[in-house]
Structure 1
Amino acid sequence: MILPRESAKALAMLMLLCSAAFPSLAEPINIPNIKAVITFDGELNEPVWQQAKHVEVNIVNYPYENTPSPVKTDAYIFEDGSHIYFAFKAQDPNPENIQAFIRDRDDAFSDDIVGIKLDTFNNHRLAYKFFVNPYGVQNDGIDNAMTSQNSDLWDGIWDAAGKVTTDGYQVEFAIPYRELNFEEGSDIKTWGIELLRLYPRDKVLRISNIPLDRDNPCWTCQMAEMQGFEQAKIGENLLITPSIVAKVDEERDVYADEDWQSDNDAEVGLNLRWGITPDVMLNATINPDFSNVEADAGQLAVNKTSALFFDEKRTFFLDNSEYFSSPLNLVYTRNVTDPDYGAKVTGKLGKQTFGFFMTKDNYTSLILPGNLYSLPDDISDESYSGALRYRYDVNEDLSFGLTSTLRSADDYHNYVNAIDVKYKMSVSNTLIAQVLTSDTEYPIELYDKWCPNSGAQDECYLSSMINKNEGAFTDQAFKLEFEHSSEDWTLRTQYKAIGEDFRADLGYLPQVDYNEFTTTVNRTVYFDDTLWSEMIFGGEFQTSHNDDGDLINERSSVSYTVWGPWQSIFDAVYSHEEQVGLRYDTNQTAIDNNTTLFELDYLDLFMDMQPRADLMLGFSSRIGDAIDYTNDRKGELIEFAPKLTWNITTHLELELMHVYAELEAESDFVYRENITDFRLTYAFNVNSFLRLTMVYNATDYNQNNNPDIIIDSDYHDNLSTQLLYSYKLNPQTVFFLGYSDNSIDNDFIGEKKEIKQNQRTAFLKLSYAWM
């Protein structure tokens, strides 16, 4: 294209002005190689910081569009061949307003924090993030530009310290190269980097060293470049972590009022992580402790039609877990419950990225999927589970991927193969597609369990899920998605079709025989110098059918979201929906003439705010029509979930959440469900804390208003408590000492409500990372 003389001059002037205003865009940041000894105390008194590369962090790119920062932030960078070092001086005109507390790692993203995002391959696919609060609390994770997902679950081993000063705060940290994947060599390397400060006051300012183009939703793609690292080596990148887990379990049958039965157990395990090269990693584990020390948050379970989803928290699966991501969730590792051993290889070679893992599991958990509901289930046999993911990046805009998963046990297998493509058509437009096939065989015990009359399909309770009683069965699935994301408008259109016999047992796909079309449109309005910083007006249409074309669901909704003072966000969604209930005859897979079509209207509300630095408040709720699935009728639902986080002191934090749900039909309640989640944490320092957790779940049923089912008890109460002392020198060198118990109550235990303890455990875990 040839520009007129005036246009060419204007473009040249614009580029010159951009270079002057944002020097990071004009040339790469050159990182010096300096040998020095750093004491991590937040003082920044070592002479080396005067020799380090200085970068100003002075651009507010959210909620404002690339405006000058109201506070001064200076960053300093150097490397020594084995680590890259960072220091920040974050000035504050009112240091008494600094929002920071001593917490467990990864819990300080709402604090004043400074840090970096680092793209070591500079290919705009993944970015590490490392942040530190004024007390030295570490926060890290991975941003995945391929799936637009940001995860804080990954934990690296790195050093950090912070200190509050009279004019703000200072932090310093060092990241070992062994924690990073990159291409090794003696040539000059170019990495992507963004230096960041989050400044939470009445609004949360995102302050950066680079401007961001709001028409480009990929922030990872807009990072500045830094160069150097000719001497960067991972060294002996071998991490061996032996562990011992000892516990005493006691259980009793409270219905028969029996004595406690005790079981003592101690197991030794070993984890290994070896950086074969800087961009190829091997993980292996033998007899691992894959239990979750931190209790999962309570979730509503009554009158739900899908198996519950829980986040992965286990180190073996989290390390480079983003290498296994694809458009549909084919690798949901919480399905692997109790493995004897496992091995994983992940890496990147040029334009190729790959990941592979295999585990042997003592237990085989499944999600039995359907088009109207899904159920968790299990097979008693031990099994093997494995996944392979391969991606080839043709260029920055085009990528192809291959995913294969397997699960195998006696008389059971599930194999899935999938190919996908992601094409960035322009800065704002992206196209994603995935095609899948599966091959599955269920064991006879599954049919004996759900199909009592010899597994005959016409008398099978779960015929809509199992529907095959001999031999293997196959089917296909696919997904197609288009997204437009610019400064003012977001449009997302998606179609996915999951065949009736398609299974992805290592993934989380709870619906099959399911074809869904969804389109969403959002209009964003930005404000400067007002109470409100951003508003979004949205609308969505979604419709789904089974393979025979029978309607399952059709929903239209309008939404309104606003960000305002007190770091607040308010969201309201009104929906009109047509939804079928469950089948009259569960022996038949048909939906038409075998279900009732309900017309529903309901309102979802959500709000979060922080009126003070030490207090966060929020709630979510749903009010309106709902289906009483157990009695196949329309009802009125009220769900309300307030929550509170109060930092009572710098060291002491209270978290309290309550969830209340009540379904009413025919002028009387059907059930009431209450969940109270209470957590009190005292952090001695950034490495250790003591936490008391109590989760109480109480469900009351109305036997007089459940005509279609037999209620065995008017109420079901459950109380779980846990007291945990945690010391973490780093994510792998840990000491846990704790006690947990569980208590239940219902009509069968006693004549009056008297919750009784049926399980208690004392446990200890010790692991040490040899590097």
Structure 2
Amino acid sequence: MYKLSSYSLPLLLCGFLCSIPTSFAQEPSPSKSNIESENLESKNLAVIGSGNISVPYLAQEITLDGELDDAIWQQANTVSLNLVNSPWQNLPSPINTEAKIIENGKYLYIAFIADDPEPEKIQGFLGDRDTKWSDDIVGIKLDTHNNRRLNYEFFVNPMGVQNDAIFNEITGEANDLWDGIWYSYGKITERGYQVEIAIPYNILNFEEDGKEKQWAIELLRIYPRETTLRISHTPLDRDNPCWLCQYPEAVGFANAETGNNIRLTPAVTASKNQTKDIYAPNSQWQDDNDMAAGLDLRWGIDANNSLNATINPDFSTVEADAGQLSINKTFSLFYDEKRAFFLDNSDYFKSNYDLVYTRNIVAPDYGAKFTGRAQKHSYGVFMTNDTETNFFMPGNLSSDIATLKQDSHSAALRYRYDHNEDLSLGAISTIRESDNYHNYVAGFDGKYRFNDSNAVRAQFLTSSTQYPDDLYKSFCLDSDCEGEFSDQTYKLDFNHDSEYWQAHLGHENIGKNFRADLGYMPKVDLQKSQARLSRLFYAEQNSLWQEAKLSGNWHLHHNENGEFIERYISTNFEIDGPKQLFLDITLSNADKVGLRHDDSSLAIEGNTTTFTENQLNIFAEAQPHARLFFYVDLTLGDKIDYNNDRLGELTEVATNVTWHITKHLELDLSQTYSQLDADNENRQYSDNVYTANLTDLRLSYQFDVQSYIKLSMVYTNIDRNPHNNPHIAVSEKNNYLSTQLLYAYKLNPQTVFFLGYSDSSFQDDELSKLTREKRTFFTKLSYSWMP
């Protein structure tokens, strides 16, 4: 059995060559945002705020084996998780759960004893970090600054798979891509399951002053059976959507220290890339071998301030992004960030607009980041040097991507002042700069809660941009446009969220010349007003359904000149049912314009056609068996055929099936089918415009919580009808196939070994079959060293 302090490089190297005992479960990953966003309930308000938990101190360590037989647990404080606060209204839990909590100045220790009258129904499977949020899980939410703005989330399933996140109350979002280095172990027993967790203080931010502290805390168990019960030690009020504001406090931590908080992570990557010209007969593979070494530094200057730096980093995401269909879409797609340097403390840079979309930074060769907090003030700054320069070319009807073949510097600065639990004010600025190009953005934002149920958010931004001559001349449509320009944007939102009613009112104005090249803002020249009203319903305990919501939604878009872009109105009904069924039905009616007839003019009126779309959308997900999860997303109705400027008829079905074949083997299959038909003037040909299929297959075998092998295949098949695309020339067939076989060993999120192979194939009208055009063999080894 290994102690927490026993990690070493020899042990890691052995792990690549031989079997390693798994005393530590693999680190968990972030919780799904719906765990933080469900509506919770509470009538017994007198209890809220009075259930503080004393955290004892004892200078001992534990062995993480799930046994709970270390002497330190005898001195721990025991907390009963006896309430179901969602979907039930703070009713007694039908099952027993106990949590034990204690600390030793270096680690916060939490143990869970999760009884289950039918242990054979426990849902717990081996998997990679951050993939088992739908399992039985137990964990802790912790706000170490007790300002009710951010909380850490650490969860573990019965097999020891970790899930972690950081929840931001200001934005209402959980960053489940964040990965901390912490330790856990889970095991199934005859009466349920048990979990031990050790959270090192050096991954937390807090006031290290040697005094007693109060940290907002919730201890939690998620119990998925017919419905998913959220079991806790504290009630929650349905009239207050801020769960974090209602948590009681853990009291203690006077001896908490971050210690020698330095982490060095050297990494070595090697790849053999092969490409060939698939259109040239007898084309031979061309080799490109590459090997690089890099170094990451994370220095916890103190418990409140940290510095990240990287030199020649390997910013590869290793695993391919999930497939997305881009056909008949006019704006650029969004992809999640997965790179550790950008994810660490990324919540410091959040605001109402997505101004820091780091996937725009493609290939940096160095970077640095400083983040911290002092009392009511939080701050962050990062900068990188990117060897490529990509950014959105936004518009009000469509967007594109621009590429400058030159290095660029990117930076972001963020400051927030939390006056109290109700008022926060902030400032943000982003910078992208290179030869004859710059984009500077600066602005202010804030959030104010009038009371538990009502809040307002606002943000104002200004930008200054200069494009190189050849770039701005290529997109400039106005006779008076110049290479250097500036503009502003603002957004104002009001939100009401109470037990039975939810309401939202919002307005924003994004100037025609506003640019945020470091962010994800593909739309400009837009005035948008919107309103949404929802009525919530709740069932009695043990009913076939649990919660339901009936909603109406409206929004209206114009450009800055007042020209009409879109009016949208919808009614929506959603309900939770048996077998963890969630059903969402939406009927919508929209008047919207197509793309411009004359691209040389920015005018909308007289330069576009207005169409009316009526659509039905049905989304359903369920878990009919503990090993099987699925969802179906069906859209039927009218859809603009943008390329041919006409109204078509859309049938689109997106499905996903996740099947835990065994505790180790998992199949995840996603399929999207999209077909667009439109009246064909030439009646001898079909009305079909295109038929697109996207298949995304992931088959993984998890040896234990630290290692797995995964096969991924993403296949896109797009068939276009050249006889019913009158405005554009199309290839009748476009097929893409990418495959990857990957072995991974992860001692923690930074100490990893990858070995893999990937390739890509393509087929169009000139090729009779799928032809492989690229293949890559790669490996990566990194080791997180904490002196």
Q: Which bin holds the TM-score, normalised by the shorter protein?
A: over 0.9
Aligned residue number for residue 601 of structure 2: 588
Aligned residue number for residue 141 of structure 1: 165
Q: Is 1:324 aligned to 2:349, yes or no?
A: yes
Q: Distance in 2 between matches of 1:677 and 1:425?
A: 46
Aligned residue number for residue 670 of structure 1: 689
Query: What is the correspondence of 1:267-286 to structure 2 with a 5 Å cutoff?
Result: 267-286=292-311
Deviation at 1:518, TM superposition (A): 0.8
Q: Is 1:305 aligned to 2:330, yes or no?
A: yes
Aligned residue number for residue 481 of structure 1: 493
Aligned residue number for residue 119 of structure 1: 143
Aligned residue number for residue 750 of structure 2: 732
Q: Distance in 1 between matches of 2:659 and 2:630?
A: 9
Aligned residue number for residue 229 of structure 1: 253
1:64 aligned to which of 88, 95, 103: 88
Aligned residue number for residue 505 of structure 2: 493
Q: Distance in 2 between matches of 1:17 and 1:360?
A: 54
Query: What is the correspondence of 1:86-165 to structure 2 with a 5 Å cutoff?
Result: 86-165=110-189
Deviation at 1:202, TM superposition (A): 0.5
Cα deviation 1:529-558 (Å, max 9, x = unaligned): 210000000000000000110100000000
Cα deviation 1:194-246 (Å, max 9, x = unaligned): 00000000000000010000100011111110111111100000010000110
Work out whether residues 51 and 234 of structure 2, in 8 Å CA contact, stay in contact via their aligned partners in 1: no
Aligned residue number for residue 360 of structure 1: 385
Q: Distance in 1 between matches of 2:523 and 2:214?
A: 44
Please give the secondary structure, in 1, of the residue aligned with 2:644: coil
Query: What is the correspondence of 1:234-383 to structure 2 with a 5 Å cutoff?
Result: 234-257=258-281, 258-383=283-408
Q: 1:610 to 1:632 in 2, by over 3 A?
A: same
Q: Distance in 1 between matches of 2:62 and 2:203?
A: 19
Aligned residue number for residue 10 of structure 1: none
Q: 1:312 to 1:16 in 2, by over 3 A?
A: closer
Runs of 4+ deviating beyond 4 Å: 15-19, 455-458
Q: Distance in 2 between matches of 1:393 and 1:171?
A: 35
Q: Is 1:626 aligned to 2:650, yes or no?
A: no
Q: Which amino acid aligns with 2:336?
A: D
Please give the secondary structure, in 2, of the residue aligned with 1:174: strand
Q: Which amino acid aligns with 2:534?
A: N
Deviation at 1:611, TM superposition (A): 0.4
Query: What is the correspondence of 1:366-445 to structure 2 with a 5 Å cutoff?
Result: 366-445=391-470
| Percent of aligned positions that are identical | 52
Please give the secondary structure, in 2, of the residue aligned with 1:221: helix
Cα deviation 1:712-747 (Å, max 9, x = unaligned): x21100000000001000000000000000000011
Q: Which amino acid aligns with 1:128?
A: Y
Q: Is 1:718 aligned to 2:742, yes or no?
A: no
Work out whether residues 554 and 570 of structure 2, in 8 Å CA contact, stay in contact via their aligned partners in 1: yes
Deviation at 1:457, TM superposition (A): 4.4
Q: Is 1:690 aligned to 2:709, yes or no?
A: yes
Q: Which amino acid aligns with 1:96?
A: E
Please give the secondary structure, in 2, of the residue aligned with 1:277: coil
Q: Is 1:515 aligned to 2:527, yes or no?
A: yes
Q: Is 1:534 aligned to 2:547, yes or no?
A: yes
Please give the secondary structure, in 2, of the residue aligned with 1:630: helix
Q: Which amino acid aligns with 2:243?
A: W
Aligned residue number for residue 763 of structure 1: 778
Please give the secondary structure, in 2, of the residue aligned with 1:86: strand
Q: Distance in 2 between matches of 1:358 and 1:642?
A: 40
Q: Distance in 1 between matches of 2:61 and 2:593?
A: 67
Deviation at 1:748, TM superposition (A): 1.9
Work out whether residues 701 and 709 of structure 2, in 8 Å CA contact, stay in contact via their aligned partners in 1: yes
What is the Cα-based RMSD across aligned positions, in Å?
A: 1.3
Aligned residue number for residue 558 of structure 1: 571
Work out whether residues 691 and 718 of structure 2, in 8 Å CA contact, stay in contact via their aligned partners in 1: yes
Please give the secondary structure, in 1, of the residue aligned with 2:160: coil
Q: 1:703 to 1:341 in 2, by over 3 A?
A: same
Q: Distance in 2 between matches of 1:457 and 1:403?
A: 31
Aligned residue number for residue 606 of structure 1: 619
TM-score by length of 2: 0.92
Q: Is 1:192 aligned to 2:216, yes or no?
A: yes
Query: What is the correspondence of 1:9-24 to structure 2 with a 5 Å cutoff?
Result: 22=47
Q: Which amino acid aligns with 1:597?
A: T
Q: Distance in 1 between matches of 2:523 and 2:740?
A: 34
Q: Distance in 1 between matches of 2:49 and 2:254?
A: 22
Matched residues, number: 737
Q: 1:517 to 1:17 in 2, by over 3 A?
A: closer
Work out whether residues 620 and 631 of structure 2, in 8 Å CA contact, stay in contact via their aligned partners in 1: yes
Deviation at 1:59, TM superposition (A): 0.5
Deviation at 1:16, TM superposition (A): 14
Q: Distance in 1 between matches of 2:64 and 2:513?
A: 57
Q: Distance in 2 between matches of 1:64 and 1:138?
A: 26
Q: Distance in 2 between matches of 1:640 and 1:276?
A: 51
Q: Is 1:45 aligned to 2:69, yes or no?
A: yes
Q: 1:585 to 1:689 in 2, by over 3 A?
A: same
Q: Is 1:635 aligned to 2:648, yes or no?
A: yes
Aligned residue number for residue 4 of structure 1: none
Aligned residue number for residue 5 of structure 1: none
Q: Distance in 2 between matches of 1:554 and 1:208?
A: 43
Q: Distance in 2 between matches of 1:571 and 1:587?
A: 42
1:218 aligned to which of 223, 242, 249: 242
Work out whether residues 45 and 237 of structure 2, in 8 Å CA contact, stay in contact via their aligned partners in 1: no
Q: Which amino acid aligns with 1:505?
A: D
Deviation at 1:27, TM superposition (A): 4.9
Q: Which amino acid aligns with 1:368?
A: M
Q: Is 1:543 aligned to 2:578, yes or no?
A: no
Q: Distance in 2 between matches of 1:701 and 1:134?
A: 48
Q: Distance in 1 between matches of 2:741 and 2:605?
A: 52
Aligned residue number for residue 231 of structure 2: 207
Please give the secondary structure, in 2, of the residue aligned with 1:26: coil
Q: Distance in 1 between matches of 2:765 and 2:637?
A: 31
1:742 aligned to which of 755, 760, 775: 760
Q: Which amino acid aligns with 2:304?
A: D
Aligned residue number for residue 462 of structure 1: none
Work out whether residues 43 and 89 of structure 2, in 8 Å CA contact, stay in contact via their aligned partners in 1: no
Cα deviation 1:497-538 (Å, max 9, x = unaligned): 000000000001111100000111111101122100000000
Deviation at 1:335, TM superposition (A): 0.4
Deviation at 1:393, TM superposition (A): 1.0
Deviation at 1:456, TM superposition (A): 7.2
Work out whether residues 245 and 421 of structure 2, in 8 Å CA contact, stay in contact via their aligned partners in 1: no
Aligned residue number for residue 55 of structure 1: 79
Please give the secondary structure, in 2, of the residue aligned with 1:446: helix
Q: Is 1:705 aligned to 2:724, yes or no?
A: yes
Deviation at 1:447, TM superposition (A): 3.8
Q: Distance in 2 between matches of 1:343 and 1:621?
A: 44
Q: Distance in 1 between matches of 2:43 and 2:630?
A: 46
Deviation at 1:37, TM superposition (A): 2.6
Deviation at 1:389, TM superposition (A): 0.5
Q: Distance in 2 between matches of 1:651 and 1:373?
A: 44
Q: Which amino acid aligns with 1:709?
A: I
Q: Distance in 1 between matches of 2:445 and 2:68?
A: 48
Deviation at 1:28, TM superposition (A): 2.3
